[in-house]
């Protein structure tokens, strides 16, 4: 069975079906999901995995910068709001120390296939601070011309010159936070950002030779409706982004304190949110963007769309990617790395993060070691999320003792109603997700999540759409 996804398949938005199915589920940036990580996982477990990896294999690197200048009321991220630039100097000294501790596990300077600066706000750092992080990176890695080096940009704080500087440092991809251009929506979420300053950043990225520019939008914010979102989309599309991510806003003020500053009465209800999403999907489809999966869209010639087409698409903690099969080293407070069968998460509290490094320890807070069943299901869920298909032959017991249907009997039973609803097609060899099932891929992936199946605790997940 050929596990590539035809990007010419146009997404079908079946509003009634979407409304009828369970609305929350994991985003599967990892399997098992991060809520299964346990605190008994030690730095020694992570060190053992790092030491065991092939010395010449390329690596991905994630750098977390937790600081933001101001707070966006919708935000559920782990961040530190401050205007004190010197806090970043302290943080970068610890970041350098952590990188050195991690790099002590490998020989030489492995090739850096992928680099991502995320946050918080990576562009909280000034040019000297950004350059110092790159000095740290160059001490331990070899940057390569074909590497994918990306950074999350907040245009409110970034000039054309800074973008050109980022290009000279080595960045070649960026994702630009927009969320919404409507002035009333922006005021309600405390994120005032003009189209002009956003355009300056994107045009500078093109001038600097960035190969892909992605923009982030959010639907479900206060005062949004179909008309406001259409206007925002028109403005966004005039910027000609290579990729768009359209995230769902979950209003959970009991979980996220900043959201208490949002007027709940102004938040669109679920029916209006579906209308907004439906219009958004249709508009992006009409303009020729390919649905990649979950909440991501890309131009047909973008490498993400090409990766979907040729079966190379992957998923990791940063979302969809073309290099996520590399081991991922993550540095910084709260960051999550993946080395073969091991996930490891750093301390979420900055003082605990500093204290571990002061003691000469890796700041590991929790993690997870996958067993054989987890590894099998991780591959299976990856195939569903990134290829919209399964070849059962890839997931048969090694001793040939059972068919797929026997080995996954409970899952097989749970797939039948989804097949009857038209989300997928089954035959004796495999599973293919239909165009209308693609939008509900998380609901299909959840069938194979053994931890979700056996979960005793109640865990809150985000909306599947
Ligand atoms: S949305 Fe981004 S910029 Fe805004 S507070 Fe959260 S992390 Fe900071």
What pLDDT is attached to residue 458? 46
φ and ψ at residue 115, rounded to 5 degrees? -135, 135
Bridge pairing between strands 111-119 and 142-153: parallel
d(CA 421, CA 399) in angstroms, rounded, equals 34
How far, in Å, from the CA of 249 to the mean position of ligand 1? 13
Bridge pairing between strands 364-369 and 342-346: antiparallel
pLDDT for 450 beyond 50: yes
pLDDT for 5 beyond 80: no
Residue 53: which residues within 8 A CB-CB, separation 6 or more? 106, 327, 339, 340
How far, in Å, from the CA of 74 to the mean position of ligand 1? 8
What pLDDT is attached to residue 188? 98
pLDDT (average), residues 136-163: 96
71 lines ligand 1 (CB under 6 A): yes
The atom number, within ligand 1, closest to the CA of 74 reads 1
φ and ψ at residue 404, rounded to 5 degrees? -60, -45
d(CA 34, CA 32) in angstroms, rounded, equals 7
Q: pLDDT tens, 331-348?
A: 999 999 999 999 999 999
How far, in Å, from the CA of 311 to the mean position of ligand 1? 33
Which protein residue's CA is at the shortest distance from atom 4 of ligand 1? 72
119 lines ligand 1 (CB under 6 A): yes
315 lines ligand 1 (CB under 6 A): no
Single pTM value for the model: 0.94
Angle between helices 86-103 and 350-358 (to 10 degrees): 50
N residues, the chain:
465
Tokens 């440092």 label which residue?
Answer: 169
407 lines ligand 1 (CB under 6 A): no
Mutate to test the pocket of ligand 1, among 65, 69, 119, 217 (most ligand atoms within 8 A of CB): 119
Contact 8, 285 (CB under 8 A): no
Cis bond upstream, residue 120 (ω within 30): yes
Mutate to test the pocket of ligand 1, among 70, 77, 261 (most ligand atoms within 8 A of CB): 77
What pLDDT is attached to residue 10? 77
Contact 192, 73 (CB under 8 A): no
pLDDT (average), residues 400-404: 91
How far, in Å, from the CA of 179 to the mean position of ligand 1? 11
Give residue 11's pLDDT band: very low, low, confident or very high (50, 70, 90): confident
pLDDT (average), residues 190-195: 97
Q: Quick one: what percent of the chain has pLDDT higher than 90?
A: 85
Residue 237: which residues within 8 A CB-CB, separation 6 or more? 283, 287
How far, in Å, from the CA of 120 to the mean position of ligand 1? 6
Q: pLDDT tens, 23-72?
A: 778 999 999 999 999 999 999 999 999 999 998 899 999 999 999 999 99
pLDDT (average), residues 238-247: 97
What pLDDT is attached to residue 24? 79
Secondary structure (3-state) at 65: strand
Tokens standing for residue 179? 């969320």
Secondary structure (3-state) at 216: strand
pLDDT for 456 beyond 60: no
How far, in Å, from the CA of 308 to the mean position of ligand 1? 29
Q: Which domains does the chain have, with CATH numbers?
A: 1-32+371-465 (1.10.10.920), 35-329 (3.80.30.20)
């Amino acid at each position: 069975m050929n596990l590539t996804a035809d990007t010419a398949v146009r997404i079908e938005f079946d509003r009634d079906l979407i409304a009828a199915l369970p609305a929350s589920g994991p985003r599967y940036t990892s399997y098992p999901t991060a809520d299964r990580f346990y605190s008994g996982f030690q730095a020694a477990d992570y060190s053992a995995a790092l030491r065991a990896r092939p010395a010449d294999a390329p690596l991905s690197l994630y750098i977390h910068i937790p600081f933001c200048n101001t707070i966006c009321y919708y935000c559920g991220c782990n961040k530190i709001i401050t205007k004190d630039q010197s806090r970043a100097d302290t943080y970068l000294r610890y970041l350098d120390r952590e990188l050195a501790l991690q790099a002590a596990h490998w020989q030489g300077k492995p090739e850096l296939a992928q680099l991502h600066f995320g946050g918080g706000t990576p562009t909280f750092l000034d040019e000297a601070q950004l350059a110092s992080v790159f000095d740290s990176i160059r001490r331990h890695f070899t940057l390569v011309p074909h590497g994918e080096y990306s950074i999350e940009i907040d245009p409110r704080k970034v000039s054309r010159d800074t973008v050109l500087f980022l290009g000279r440092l080595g960045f070649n991809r960026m994702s630009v936070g927009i969320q919404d251009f409507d002035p009333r929506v922006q005021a309600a979420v405390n994120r005032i950002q003009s189209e002009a300053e956003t355009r300056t950043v994107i045009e500078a990225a093109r001038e600097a030779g960035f190969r892909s520019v992605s923009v982030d939008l959010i639907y479900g914010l206060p005062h949004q409706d179909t008309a406001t979102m259409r206007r925002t989309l028109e403005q966004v599309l005039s910027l000609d982004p290579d990729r768009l991510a359209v995230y769902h806003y979950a209003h959970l003020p009991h979980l996220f304190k900043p959201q208490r500053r949002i007027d709940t009465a102004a938040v669109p209800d679920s029916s209006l949110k579906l209308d907004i999403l439906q219009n958004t999907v249709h508009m992006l489809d009409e303009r020729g963007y390919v649905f990649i999966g979950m909440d991501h869209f890309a131009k047909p010639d973008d490498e993400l769309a090409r990766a979907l087409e040729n079966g190379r698409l992957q998923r990791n903690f940063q979302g969809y990617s073309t290099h996520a099969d590399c081991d991922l080293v993550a540095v910084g407070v709260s960051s999550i790395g993946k080395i073969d069968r091991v996930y490891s998460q750093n301390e979420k509290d900055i003082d605990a993060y500093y204290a571990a490094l002061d003691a000469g320890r890796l700041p590991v807070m929790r993690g997870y070691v996958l067993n054989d069943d987890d590894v099998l299901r991780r591959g299976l869920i990856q195939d569903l999320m990134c290829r919209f298909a399964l070849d059962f032959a890839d997931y048969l017991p090694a001793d040939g003792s059972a068919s797929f249907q026997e080995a996954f009997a409970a899952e097989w039973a749970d797939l039948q109603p989804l097949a009857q609803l038209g989300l997928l097609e089954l035959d004796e060899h495999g599973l293919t997700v239909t165009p209308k099932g693609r939008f509900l891929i998380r609901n299909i992936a959840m069938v194979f999540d053994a931890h979700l199946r056996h979960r005793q605790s109640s865990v809150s997940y985000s909306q599947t759409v």
